[in-house]
Homo-oligomer: A and B are copies of this chain.
Amino acid sequence: MSDRGIPPAVILVEPQLAENIGTAARAMLNCGLTDLRLVNPRDPFPSERASAASVGALEIMPPVKIFDSTEAAVADLNMVYATTARERKMVKPILTPRALGETAVEAGRAGRKVGILFGRERTGLEKDDIALADAVVTVPLNPEFTSLNLAQAVLLLGYEWYQAGDSTPPRVLETHGAEPATKEQLYGFFAHFEKALDDCGFLRNEEARPNMIRNLRNLWGRAELTEQEIRTLHGVVKELTTLREKKRQ
């Protein structure tokens, strides 16, 4: 986690069901978040139900801290964000989860402590809790059907924090150790393949021939072939032409 700095704390304000504490913990740990704080949970905590729902996450994470007010739960933090689904009539900056993720990674790397508040399952955060926060975070989702459970909201915020510090390339060709073919190997296959097409008459239309060859070369090029696959394709062409030779006899 070091390249993301201090991970944000997740503060569940008055969670109602023990299961939801567990599923929130599970969602957190997926994203490398381990600082879980509860403000006045309705069900007793810790509990079997919470632990079972966490699928092992609560055992791995440091002990959950319990507080009797939101103020106390965030007292040591430098920046606090309130998640809300519904409109609250407050003059407040609204961030996307992505913007919060980037802000939180920046803050964490600078040694600042960030917390994200989540309200009760049914009713969300109270206005007085929101007023304690620096900004509101709202997830842009289908306005005609916004129905996230607590763990899903925690997951989306944690996911964006994790992505903000992640260096996975958007797209990579996984070859599991196989070497990508060199251009010499690729062009060697082109020559074999095109010779076979010439021999069988597929390229007999002289006018269409150059374009057909270019199209086929582009097709093979898009496939990002490995050395092993080039060898396989040489074998395929060889066997196909051998079959043709045999039939001709």
Contacts and interface: CB of A to CB of B under 8 A. Distances in A.
Given A30-B146, A141-B30, A148-B30, A163 B57 contact: no
Contact of A142 (B31, B90, B169): B31
A145 B60 CA distance: 9
A91 B170 CA distance: 16
How many A residues are at the interface, by size bracket? 35 or more
B141 A162 contact: yes
A184 interface: no
A155 interface: yes
Interface in A122-175: 135-136, 139-142, 145-148, 151-152, 155-156, 159, 162-163, 166, 168-175
A130 B29 CA distance: 28
Contacts of A30: 141-142, 145-148
Given A27-B152, A98-B163, 13 more contacts: A30-B141, A30-B147, A55-B147, A56-B145, A91-B173, A91-B175, A92-B173, A93-B171, A96-B163, A96-B169, A98-B170, A152-B155, A159-B159
A114 B56 CA distance: 35
Interface string A79-91: 0000000010111
A212 to B, nearest CB: 23
A177 to B, nearest CB: 9
A166 B140 CA distance: 8
Interface string A10-53: 00000000000000001101111000000000000000000000
A101 to B, nearest CB: 10
Contacts of A170: 95-96, 98-99, 102
Contacts of A136: 174
Interface in A165-206: 166, 168-176, 178
Contacts of A60: 145
A88 B55 CA distance: 24
A26 to B, nearest CB: 6
Which residue among A60, A95, A148, A163 has the maximum number of chain B CB atoms within 10 Å of its CB?
Answer: A163
A173 B92 CA distance: 6
A162 B140 contact: yes
A94 interface: yes
Given A30-B146, A145-B30, A162-B140, A93 B172 contact: yes
